[in-house]
Each structure stands twice: as structure tokens, then as C-alpha cells.
Amino acid sequence: MTGNRTDAGVDTGIERHEYDVVVIGAGGAGLRAAIAAHDAGARVAIVCKSLLGKAHTVMAEGGIAAAMGNLYADDNWRVHFRDTMRGGKMLNNWRMAQLHAQEAPERVLELEEWGALFDRTADGLISQRDFGGHRYARLAHVGDRTGLEMIRTLQQRAVDLDIDVFMEFTVTELFRDPSTGSGGTGGRISGAFGYWRETGRFVVFESPTVVLATGGIGKSYQVTSNSWEYTGDGHALAMRAGASLINMEFVQFHPTGMVWPPSVKGLLVTESVRGDGGVLKNAEGERFMFDYIPEFFKKETADTIEEAEGWYTDKKNHRRPPELLPRDEVARAINSEIKAGRGSPHGGVYLDIASRRSPDFIRRRLPSMYHQFKELADVDITQEPMEVGPTCHYVMGGVEVDADTEQSIVEGLYAAGEVAGGMHGSNRLGGNSLSDLLVFGRRAGHNAAYHSMRTKQRPTVSAEQVKAASAAALHPFEVEGGENPYTIQTDLQDVMQRLVGIIRTEAELRDSLAEIERLKERAKRLSVEGHRQYNPGWHLALDLANMLVVSECIAKAALERQESRGGHTRDDYPTPDDGWGALNLVLTLPSDSDSVDLKHQPLPVMPDDLKTLFEES
């Protein structure tokens, strides 16, 4: 199924489908989940907002982190686990970080099995590259288009297995059957509701399990590396269905986005540029990162240029250059340099690889960066430095799930990939997302399939539920002369960028919440032009509700957490605090309210044998 079905008239009623597992999202996590569920014997549907193969995963550049030990035999899951926890400032769900480190290598080899062609080492194994926060060169990659290789491989595998795909299809609501299920009041998951973007026609999926793999939320910010798809749909769907979110205060600003021309502001410049030898300089030509090495990473970071230079060729006897500190550190440093007036002409800093590596090397290792700057900014990165600055990139926060099964607190509802929370703590290391998608996508798919098969009595979707969902989806057409959804979106992006950005304060966060309230009111009265057939204005009107609730979660949690840690920096509480470091902030949306609830919850405690990994060196 492709979604390109103009035959289905809008008015000919509602289409219905029955599956064992419905996977929402066709990025790395969704595809891997669907493959796993299919392999476990389930009837599976994949749905996605864009065409198959266009999800965000396609844009990933640098690589997939997996301790395969192909270049450094000393690398193993324990080292990867330790790096991940330290990168997340110990706020990660330890069990997820452990599973991730243990299973990532096999997941990468599986991709190779299905046809992926990774770059090779001299002895023919999968090559691995350096990235910030990883002790060893660990990222399996294909030049700087690793995400393309990954999504194409999984897509081709899913097609080979003949899994049903509903593309250009948006899910707007999840259903629960109140007459079923243990515990919780709302009952188990019973299905999902959505529309074909092409025709506007409504569809009901009946399914005892749903896997959310919808990715992130970055479209709520003005400067972002994320596309129109990243409106936090999965986060919002989960909340409306009664699930909880954690870690929402942690938003990753990637240190290096393009800053010029305005048209490409925010577009990502891969961390591989630094992994492959690029350095950051301010307008005065200084390698300023040496001034920003935090206490937490002093032991493992080079403090002189000589030592940093030595590292590229001899990692045993040199510590890492400070340019390869975790992303939150580098983004804050760049932000400070710019604020101190040492920025580049277009409000960034310089990222220089031209003076450090040969044009040939640069073109071979970073072909798409070369292309991107040449085509979009008239800059030849083999000859001149790039201008870069922080860009909203990734959300660490997401649906709270059980580490082993990826099930949320709602029976039958699973989440994996960027939409799930816990794995990355307060800050994600580069390369750890693609591996996360594979490891937890597979686990979610498997577990959903088993759950589905164990279900004796399938939960059902009632006629009233369907009626309510259609009415909600059609609401924007009912208002006449209301506001344009694009304007509200732009205003929200402005609020989030200004008041809930890299550096936060109590006063600004309070303002942001008040602003978000006002935007919520305005959003109730928006109206859209045209009809239901492929109408981006209508699509945005529906997505906007999700962006608003997710933005509220971010602002609320950011206001609550009175410390600075990873992707959350408070000017008024500039240091980490042990008390806060033992807490997750959990957000829910009570069914009788349209504003989110927040509570504190102790972090799961790491067993002693794993704790010993943090005592050495």
C-alpha cells in the first residue's frame, strides 16, 4: 500500500483495518520494530507521515555507535555503557544503557546481512570513527550518509518481507478499550485513528498493540535541524492515551548548525567534521574549547594543543581534544563565545578543517558536508572555515517505558527511538541514537508481537470513539475567519527559542508558560483554507496541538529542575546537584484537563557490579 489512492472518495465512509501490531513511524526505530514483529509472526502495519524512506533517520550523517572492537580491541560494551552514562550525566536509565551497549554490535551486523555496505577497515571489517564522548573510535558509518544507508537497508528489508505500509498517513488519536486490561483506568490499547494525507480520508486501525516510533519535537524551535515531521506527535499521542513522559527538560542543541545564509540556518553540520580533525575557533582565531573543559571531564580531556594534536594518531598516550567533549558542553561554550562578542560575522564561530586536512581527505570523508556548503552557502570547506552555531537537534525526553520490553504504563502501548525517554539521560552522545533505534526498535516490535498473541480477547474500538476522533480532526474546518496555523506555529517557535533555549532562567520559563497558554487559546480558534485533499494547512493545524502540549512539557519540567545538567542549563542554578541527579520528572496529561501534571520520581538504582565501572580511572 502506498497511500497514493485517489480512488477512495472522501465521503465513502471510514476505512477499517485489523492488525496485531501497528507501528507508527517508519524511521529506523519503526522499521526495525516492524521487522521484529513480523519475524515473531504478527500481522504488522507501518504508518508514516511522509513517503517511505524519507523519515528523519535518512538525514543522520555520522554513524551508529556500537562497541564492535574492530579498530580498538579494548572496546567492549562496558566501556560503551560507561561513556553513555557519563555523557548523560548519570541520569540515564541504567538498564536501557546496558542493553543498548550490549546489543548494538549485533544489530549493526544484521544491517550488513540485509545489504548495508559500511566503510571498511584495512582488514575488511566494518570501519569505526571517532565521535564526541566515546572513548574509542566506535561509529560504524558510510561516509557522512550513514542514516541513508540505514533507512534504505531497513526499508528494503521490510519490503522484502512484504509488510504493509501506509505512507503519507497521519495518526491523530490512539484508542483504549475501557472494558479491558489490568490496573489503569482507561483499559488497554485497542487501536489508532488517522487520515490519508492525500485524500483526507479517515482510517481506523484495530490492534491490541501500538508501537510509537514517531521521532522528535524539534519543529517547535526556530533554529533546528529537524523537519516538518518533528511535531512531537508520538509524545502527545502517548500523553493523551494516558502514558507518561520523562526527561522532557533535556533538549539537545547540537553545537554545529549552519548559520548562513538564513535559508539554511540550523541545518546540521555533522560532528564527524570534528571527529575527523576539525577544530573550533573564535573570531580571534583562538581554539577556545580549551577554556571550557568542565571538572567532570578534566581527567580525560587534553589541556594543551600539543596533546590534543597527538590524539588523532596515538589515542593510547594522549587525551581527547576538547572539541570532542559531549555536545551540551560544546554548545554552551559556543554560545558563551558568541555572547562575549567573539563570534563570526553571521553570529556563529568558525569550524575549521580546511587548514588541517587535505582537500582529498575532506571530500572523501565528508562528501555530503562538502556538497551542502558548496551548493547552499558558496563555501568550499576544503579551502575556508565554516561558520557554525548551536541548533535544536534532538529531544532526550520521551515516553517512559519499561527498559526490557519498551512498554509504557499503558498496556499495549510501546515506544522506541527518539520518542522514548530514559536511554540518554540528560544528554545523548552522537551515534547513540541510530544504535538506540535498532536495539529498542527490535525489542519493542518483538514484545508487542508477543503481547498481541497472548491477548485472548481482542480489545475493541467503539463507534463513539471513532465519532469523537473524526470530529476532532475536522474541527479546524469549522471555524471561519480564524487565525492561520502557520502564524501560530511561527509564534510558538519564537517563544521556545527565546525563552526555553540553551540557557534558561526562572523568569523566562514562567513567561514561556504564560505565552504557551495564550497560544493554546489562539490555536482553538484557528481556521484552514481549502478542502481535505493533501492540504498542508490542515495537517499543520492538527500537528500544532501536539507541538503545544509537548512545548508545555518542556517548559514545565525545565522550570521545575533547579540545577544544570546535560541538555538543561539554568543560569540561576548553574551547577549540577546530587539531589536532582537522583530524580526523574514525570509528566502526564490528566483526562479531565488540558494542562500537564508533573511529579518527581526516583531514578532506578544501578546494581553494584555496574557501579564499579565508574570507580576506575
Partner 1 sequence: MGYNLKMRVWRGDASGGELGDYNVAVEEGEVVLDAIHRLQATQAGDLAVRWNCKAGKCGSCSAEINGRPRLMCMTRLSDFDESETITVTPMRAFPVIRDLVTDVSYNYEKAKQLPAARLTPRDPDGKRRMKQEDVERGQEFRKCIECFLCQNTCHVVRDHEDNKQAFAGPRFFLRYAELDMHPLDTHDRRALAQEAAGIGMCNITKCCTEVCPEGIKITDNAIIPMKERVVDRKYDPVVWLGEKIFKRSDRGTRSEEHGPA
Ligand X SMILES: Cc1cc2nc3c(=O)[nH]c(=O)nc-3n(C[C@H](O)[C@H](O)[C@H](O)COP(=O)(O)OP(=O)(O)OC[C@H]3O[C@@H](n4cnc5c(N)ncnc54)[C@H](O)[C@@H]3O)c2cc1C
Q: Which of 91, 111, 351, 434 binds ligand X (CB under 6 A)?
A: 434
Shortest Cβ 574–ligand X spacing (Å): 28
Residue closer to partner 1 (CB basis): 330 or 528: 528
532 has catalytic annotation: no
Cell (9 digits) for 198: 492525500
Residue closer to ligand X (CB basis): 273 or 349: 273
Q: Which of 49, 138, 188, 504 binds ligand X (CB under 6 A)?
A: 49
Cell 519490503: give the residue.
Answer: 159
What is the number of other CB atoms lying within 10 angstroms of the CB of residue 506? 14
Report the C-alpha gap between 504 and 305 in whole angstroms.
32
Contact of 201 with 378, CB cutoff 8 Å: no
What is the bridge-based pairing of β-strands 386-395 and 349-352? antiparallel
Shortest Cβ 19–partner 1 spacing (Å): 19
* Local structure of residue 603 (DSSP, 8 states): P
Residue closer to ligand X (CB basis): 26 or 586: 26
Cell 511529579: give the residue.
Answer: 599
Report the C-alpha gap between 355 and 365 in whole angstroms.
15
Which of partner 1, ligand X, none sits in contact with 30, Cβ below 5 to 8 A by type? ligand X
Q: Does 225 bind ligand X (CB under 6 A)?
A: yes
Q: Does 322 bind ligand X (CB under 6 A)?
A: no
Q: Is 499 exposed, middle or buried (0-12, 13-18, 19+ CB in 10 A)?
A: buried
Cell (9 digits) for 281: 575557533
Shortest Cβ 172–ligand X spacing (Å): 7
What is the bridge-based pairing of β-strands 188-196 and 128-129? unpaired
The β-bridge partners of 391 are 254
254 has catalytic annotation: yes
Shortest Cβ 143–ligand X spacing (Å): 11
529 contact partners, CB below 8 Å, separation of at least 6: 535, 537
Shortest Cβ 165–partner 1 spacing (Å): 8
Which of ligand X, partner 1, none sits in contact with 27, Cβ below 5 to 8 A by type? ligand X
Shortest Cβ 492–ligand X spacing (Å): 17
Q: Which of 40, 45, 61, 238 binds ligand X (CB under 6 A)?
A: 61
Annotated catalytic residue, options 254, 504, 532, 539: 254
Annotated catalytic residue, options 32, 274, 327, 357: 274
Residue ranges with strand state E in 453-515: 503-504
Cis peptide before 261 (omega within 30 of 0): yes
Report the C-alpha gap between 489 and 231 in whole angstroms.
10
Q: Does 27 bind ligand X (CB under 6 A)?
A: yes
Q: Does 171 bind ligand X (CB under 6 A)?
A: yes
Which of partner 1, ligand X, none sits in contact with 311, Cβ below 5 to 8 A by type? none
Q: Which of 34, 37, 59, 554 binds ligand X (CB under 6 A)?
A: 59
Integer distance in angstroms from the first to the last C-alpha of the chain?
Answer: 54
Contact of 193 with 175, CB cutoff 8 Å: yes
Q: Which of 3, 21, 30, 70 binds ligand X (CB under 6 A)?
A: 30
Shortest Cβ 510–ligand X spacing (Å): 30
Which of ligand X, partner 1, none sits in contact with 170, Cβ below 5 to 8 A by type? ligand X
173, 192, 253, 337 from 333: Cα distances, Å: 41, 44, 12, 6
Q: Does 180 bind ligand X (CB under 6 A)?
A: no
Footprint on residues 255-294 left by ligand X (CB under 6 A):
268
Report the C-alpha gap between 418 and 436 in whole angstroms.
8
What radius of gyration do the chain's Cα atoms show? 23
Residue closer to ligand X (CB basis): 513 or 541: 541
Report the C-alpha gap between 441 and 510 in whole angstroms.
36
Shortest Cβ 507–partner 1 spacing (Å): 31
Report the C-alpha gap between 112 and 350 in whole angstroms.
37
**Which single residue brings its beta carbon nearest to ligand X?**
27
Footprint on residues 121-160 left by ligand X (CB under 6 A):
146-147
Footprint on residues 561-600 left by ligand X (CB under 6 A):
none
Q: Does 431 bind ligand X (CB under 6 A)?
A: yes
What's the order of all strands across the beta sheet hosting 251-258?
Answer: 251-258, 386-395, 349-352, 279-281
Contact of 542 with 476, CB cutoff 8 Å: yes
* Local structure of residue 583 (DSSP, 8 states): E
Which of partner 1, ligand X, none sits in contact with 118, Cβ below 5 to 8 A by type? partner 1
Q: Does 84 bind ligand X (CB under 6 A)?
A: no
What is the number of other CB atoms lying within 10 angstroms of the CB of residue 283? 15
What character string, x for contact with ligand X (CB under 6 A) and - otherwise, covers 386-425? --------x----------------------xxx------
Which of partner 1, ligand X, none sits in contact with 25, Cβ below 5 to 8 A by type? ligand X
What are the catalytic residues?
Answer: 254, 274
Q: Which parts of this chain interact with ligand X (CB under 6 A)?
A: 24-30, 47-50, 55-57, 59-63, 146-147, 169-171, 213-215, 225-226, 229, 233-234, 268, 394, 417-419, 430-434, 437
